């Protein structure tokens, strides 16, 4: 299935699917809902995949943050 065909089936702009496949945009809740309906999955499946990708690619230095001390 082409990006254009998927976009048509999901009723979204073709550019949205193109940007997702090229990893130039993040998955939105709206798109997750549409993908879950189309593929018979859950929106959480798609959003968890996006979160995992975001965490794996995060370049944040948190070494200066001191953990909260529990009293």
Quickly name the fold that domain 3-46 has.
434 Repressor (Amino-terminal Domain) (1.10.260)
pLDDT tens digits, 45-57: 999 999 999 999 8
Query: For residue 71, is pLDDT > 90?
Result: no
40: left (phi over 0), alpha (psi -120 to 50) or beta: left
pTM beyond cutoff 0.85:
no
Q: Distance (Å, rounded) from C-alpha 68 to C-alpha 47?
A: 29
Domain locations in the chain as residue ranges:
3-46
Whether 32 contacts 43, CB under 8 Å: yes
Specify the DSSP element, H or E, that contains 69: none
């Amino acid at each position: 299935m082409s990006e254009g065909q998927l976009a048509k089936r999901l009723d979204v702009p073709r550019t949205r699917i193109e940007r997702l496949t090229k990893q130039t945009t993040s998955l939105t809740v709206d798109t997750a809902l549409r993908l879950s309906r189309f593929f018979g999955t859950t929106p959480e499946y798609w959003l968890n995949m996006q979160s995992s990708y975001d965490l794996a690619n995060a370049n944040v230095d948190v070494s200066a943050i001191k953990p909260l001390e529990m009293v």
